[in-house]
Structure 1
């Protein structure tokens, strides 16, 4: 397989010449539905081999990737087939509650998918590039996984407020720290492209010893994603990780009454980075008891997490500083009261502000808690920037090795003061509740110094921010164009 960067560049260069593609969001969405069909075709070949005559594809023969993508269709004939046969067929597949997940996902994947390209010759060129990927070769298959990771990272430039690709180093750290066990089931109720689920699978795979363990590994995940595009990415991501029946739903976790959850709706482990910065309408808030019916998205997800964590279950959740510090907002205080009185909030890791830079500078934290008992004491630890870094960026992202110092402290906890400011400290429940009024903004960053960057660092930071703004502009223009085209 050719160099990953050149592979993606080749596709990008082709699509830039197509009049139907407006910006990175449409380009990526176009790639994803084709990549999904290519991956799915490889999985079908595998299922046909292992299941024999009992396997029957849900996709009609003429619409299977191996039959049309490998053919000679191009130009207007290819466009006509894709627009008038392929998409209508896949959107209207016969699916019901008895349909196996590995079959029903095809219809769900294409429910809101779009075909943007308008030049059939260019479309053929892109298909040929994707068709050159060989999933039968182990090394190439691994490289395709790297390619997919690169595509996911590109999404950072194309996401709207509150929806950012969580750095893989952070998801890996959280999964490793939560210590997955064979037989447990984890959930992410706003799973995006499946980053936390992938990290969970990677960590749990280290403990697989038998065929039964392997089966339990693949059945150990659950995700739900509100938006179609990230959902498509998550399902494809699972297929690439050999999860044949990915339990990933397309839906909104906040549109179910909180009091309706039963034991079967609960999970052993919850790993997630809820959307934050968003505001929910009254019809969403109505699904929550009045005392915790916040308008802020992250607060409502926190309520869902607490409602769906099994007895003795464990959770690691990324939340913004506003959740920790809010003491005037009654709903935030009530949520924190519930967290401390009903769960064991044992650790809060304060993350450097630039973990998600340059796409957002919202300060974030990882809350580790379990459903074993009420909180008795909570440790706070501030993760400072590693030596040699003034800030994280697209060119200098946070790495898993940067969490080594956190893990060293985790395994040998002690209070630390730096320049008379607490870097790590233990607080009792009485201190947090009575003395501090549920203000969990402890061991924070003492001050922000004016940052003087080297010329090349300054240029790189500017280019990253400009790329992010350009992507947002492209996204808005694409939405406007789509609206105008529908009106015509």
Structure 2
């Protein structure tokens, strides 16, 4: 147990001496495939014990216990011999594993994990040292495995400061608050269609842990999650995360959620709960937009994911999603159509406005949490499902100017919002609304610009160039839409 506390530091110190590792992102990526094989090896030992006819998909010579494990110090492969094995036997073998539609998920994930994995290390002696540190973990021991789950969380947290990899990590304070408000029930299914490293799914599982009191409960617990991740690196981290949380058959798929026609989804494709941080800032090509009805076919990634969520949420289902400010204030045609659908067919009951630095240093774009559900009977224009929507502004905690790597957001920073949630009332501070209820008609009359209860006293934002361009493009699209609307009105009046 003593070695677990400085696990990450020991590996970082070794890898810093290897010429092949360039920065934190590559270090974590290198660590991820090795940790996966170590965790998978432990799981396979359990499966072999429980299933008399279990046969591994991994050839014997490529199993962690065959090549990475040392029976006694110094008896394992090292140096050029180890590098040659990893580069010319291990990786080619695992990348070419035979997988068919009949292959069980818990076996197929091995090939999927290694399809895009890389070995960056160039020093076989240093590689052996890293393997020895990882192999010290006794994941068969419940307490040590549980403790390592916390260490793994710290590894994922480092993604926030590892360049662009931070986009795959949502601060745990946020995922825990959202999962807590959603209030999971055993027997329900949850989905995240851009699951990154699996933060929302683990927060969901954490909420369910204390409710599993029987073998039947455990089965419901382990079959409750579903995730899709487009990029290979976070996919590997997510699979490992799920295995560490006792999910033997993780329904996590390496795929793109936007490449399927939303009108083709059936009840079998829908979920009780959807928890997500919507990818944003990207622009999708026309072939992706063709999978959506023309009025919802935005070029903005976050908008398209909102449509996917609405088409994949079950009746009586609940959703909590993170979305950037641009969605709230945007009045271009696609955003208006999406918000109109949301406020008509769904019940958008709560919007939590979050401070701008929640996702620092990855992005300084301000984000919001939308909480909504899909009623049993679909709302209509004459009888919209959303009757009223509460907006609540979560201010920076006292003593904080910005959140940062050394002063991250914590779950207790949501305490004020938790208290308000249970006893909703309007709040005004310095003449500006902090919490306020708006009717469906008021939101409609605003032209679906629902940028409400914002931050009136916030200092001028200094955005990174990428964020600044994204914000400018959103504002320009909204302004163009407003100009087009005015010109259309003038043309109609002149025509009359």
Partner of 1:421: 432
Shift of 1:58: 1.1
Partner of 2:164: 160
Does the 8 Å CA contact 2:349/2:390 hold for their aligned counterparts?
Answer: yes
Deviations 1:279-322 (A, max 9, x none): 11222112111111111110000010001001110000000111
Does the 8 Å CA contact 2:323/2:368 hold for their aligned counterparts?
Answer: yes
SS in 1 for 2:27: helix
Deviations 1:38-96 (A, max 9, x none): 00010011111222x31111111111111111242111111111111111111111211
Partner of 2:458: 448
Q: Distance in 1 between matches of 2:19 and 2:400?
A: 42
Partner of 2:344: 341
Does the 8 Å CA contact 1:162/1:275 hold for their aligned counterparts?
Answer: no
Partner of 1:58: 57
Q: Distance in 2 between matches of 1:357 and 1:38?
A: 32
Does the 8 Å CA contact 1:415/1:426 hold for their aligned counterparts?
Answer: yes
1:354 aligns with 2:353: no
Counterpart of 1:109 (choices 91, 106, 113) is 113
Partner of 1:384: 395
1:49 aligns with 2:49: yes
Aligned residues: CA RMSD: 1.6
Shift of 1:158: 2.3
Deviations 1:4-54 (A, max 9, x none): 563222212221222222222221111110000000010011111222x31
Partner of 1:40: 40
Moved more, 166-175 or 358-367: 358-367
Deviations 1:222-248 (A, max 9, x none): 000000000000000000001000000
Q: Distance in 2 between matches of 1:267 and 1:164?
A: 22
SS in 1 for 2:10: helix
Does the 8 Å CA contact 1:178/1:314 hold for their aligned counterparts?
Answer: yes
SS in 2 for 1:441: coil
SS in 1 for 2:257: coil
Partner of 1:121: 125
Q: Note closer, same or farther for the CA distance 1:404–1:130 as it changes in structure 2 (3 Å cut).
A: same
Q: Which runs of 5+ in 2 are unaligned?
A: 71-75, 380-384, 465-496
Moved more, 202-211 or 404-413: 202-211
TM-score scaled by length of structure 1: 0.89
Residues 297-312 of structure 1 aligned to structure 2 (within 5 Å): 297-312=301-316
Counterpart of 1:430 (choices 435, 441, 460) is 441
Q: Distance in 2 between matches of 1:355 and 1:17?
A: 33
Shift of 1:383: 0.8
Q: Distance in 2 between matches of 1:12 and 1:370?
A: 44
Shift of 1:343: 0.2
Residues 186-205 of structure 1 aligned to structure 2 (within 5 Å): 186-205=190-209
Shift of 1:361: 1.0
Q: Distance in 1 between matches of 2:352 and 2:113?
A: 36
- Name the count of aligned residue pairs: 449
Partner of 1:371: 374
SS in 2 for 1:270: strand
Deviations 1:194-242 (A, max 9, x none): 0000000110222222210111111000000000000000000000001
Q: Distance in 2 between matches of 1:363 and 1:228?
A: 27
Q: Report which structure shows greater RCO (CA 8 Å, sep ≥6).
A: 1
Q: Distance in 1 between matches of 2:278 and 2:99?
A: 30
Q: Note closer, same or farther for the CA distance 1:229–1:164 as it changes in structure 2 (3 Å cut).
A: closer
Q: Distance in 2 between matches of 1:212 and 1:63?
A: 35
Shift of 1:162: 8.2
SS in 2 for 1:315: strand
Moved more, 439-448 or 184-193: 439-448
Counterpart of 1:215 (choices 203, 214, 219) is 219
Q: Distance in 2 between matches of 1:161 and 1:376?
A: 39
1:324 aligns with 2:324: no
Deviations 1:178-202 (A, max 9, x none): 0111111000000000000000011
Shift of 1:122: 1.0
Does the 8 Å CA contact 2:347/2:387 hold for their aligned counterparts?
Answer: yes
